Structure 1
Amino acid sequence: MRDYCIRTAEPEDLDGARAVMLDTVYRDFGTGYVPRWHGDIIDPAAAYLVPARHTLLVAVDQSDGSVVATAALDSRGPASPPNPRDVAERFPPGETAQLRRVYVRPEHRRRGLARRLVDALVAFAEADGGYRSAYLHTDPAVPGAEGFWRSCAKMVHDEREDPGGGQGIVHFEIPLGR
């Protein structure tokens, strides 16, 4: 059995974290790198390590020191567009801890890493004291993503039910102070 360390990313972790993120958007999402959606992936230090209320966590495989999973949090909240207006209004910037980039390399999945990372992000948001809620969205076309989020978060908007299907994204909230 492998042993993993969940921790706040250090500068020396950024190349490994970026590789996990880029591999995920190419392999699992099939979109590849799209600057308007993935700019934080290219410069995770500016997006997550510099702002005081943001964080980037990594899961490190203790056997070889490699970064095998990521999870990030920022205070931006979902924008409208592209997200539905009711979602953006429910989760305003500054008051919303938005979970992002919860990605696990395929060979390390089904070992509880995503759950541990999410729990650590929620603890970070709660310790901040200024966040009212935690928000995230997922593409249900990604295998396992929707089921995972339904197991630990409350679905608040399913765009597949909107007229025209929206972007097909499912939006979730994780209560803080649970």
Structure 2
Amino acid sequence: MRDYCVRVAGPDDLDEARAVMLDTVYRDFGTGYVPRWHGDIIDLAGAYLTPARHTLLVAVDAADTIVATGALDSRGPLHPPNPAHLAARYPSGTTAQLRRIYTRPAHRRRGLARRLVGELLDFAAADGGYRSVYLHTDPSVEGAEGFWRSLGEVVLDEREERGQSVVHFEVPFDAVRASRVPAGHGTTSSPSTLLTDR
């Protein structure tokens, strides 16, 4: 079993973290880089390092190579393109949105996504100003929907209501605490990925 370290990203980590993210949007989503959805990937410092209530985490392997990422910001789902009722339920400022939970294929199913989400939820809880944790995912990405269903509650399935391949979730602040794995130990959790920054 490989050992991993999850830590807050610093300026020296941004190029490697960006590579993990861009590889994911090209390989798993098949969309490639779309500026309106993925602009934060290009400006990781401005999106996650500079704002006090935002964070970017990375998981590194024993060779100190970044193999997974996870981010959180204070922006709720935007309307449009999201439904107005969803934007009203998860307003910016009081909503912690989970983003860029991406793991390189060779490192999936080792508990990294769950560890990253646990750390992000701890960060959101410690902030004190977040009332809810929100995310959306593409259910066509292998393992994504099952992973998020294991942690949160579906609040909107756009396959049913709008004919789009997006599922929106709310995740409780303590969703991962009961199942948290000690550092260096893997689990059989599914890989996780998010769709876009819609």
Same fold (TM over 0.5): yes
Q: What are the Cα deviations for residues 118-173 of structure 1, in whole angstroms up to 9, with x where unaligned? A: 000000000000000000000111111001000011111100111x41x3210000
TM-score under structure 1 length normalisation: 0.96
TM-score under structure 2 length normalisation: 0.86
Give the equivalent residue in structure 2 for 1:174: 171
Q: CA deviation at 1:176?
A: 2.6
Q: What are the Cα deviations for residues 102-126 of structure 1, in whole angstroms up to 9, with x where unaligned? A: 0000000000000000000000000
2:138, 2:83 → 1: CA distance?
15
1:65, 1:176 → 2: CA distance?
29
2:107, 2:36 → 1: CA distance?
28
Q: Percent identity?
A: 73
CA RMSD of aligned residues (A): 0.9
Q: CA deviation at 1:177?
A: 5.5
Give the equivalent residue in structure 2 for 1:73: 72
Q: 1:40 aligned to 2:40?
A: yes
1:88, 1:138 → 2: CA distance?
16
1:3 partner letter: D
The ranges of structure 1 where at least 4 consecutive aligned residues each deviate by more than 2 angstroms after the TM superposition are none
Give the equivalent residue in structure 2 for 1:149: 148
Moved more, 84-93 or 127-136: 84-93
Q: CA deviation at 1:91?
A: 0.2
**Which protein has greater RCO, CA pairs closer than 8 Å, 6+ apart?**
2
Q: 1:130 aligned to 2:129?
A: yes
1:78 partner letter: P
- Secondary structure class of the residue paired with 1:116: helix
List runs of 5+ in structure 2 lacking aligned partners. Answer: 176-198
Normalized per residue, the structure richer in strand is 1
Give the equivalent residue in structure 2 for 1:95: 94
2:64, 2:117 → 1: CA distance?
21
* Residues 9 and 57 in structure 1, CA contact (< 8 A), matched pair in contact too: yes
1:106, 1:87 → 2: CA distance?
32
2:111, 2:7 → 1: CA distance?
15
1:88 partner letter: A
Q: What are the Cα deviations for residues 58-96 of structure 1, in whole angstroms up to 9, with x where unaligned? A: 00012x110000000000110011111111111000000
2:37, 2:173 → 1: CA distance?
26
Aligned pairs, number: 175
2:48, 2:172 → 1: CA distance?
22
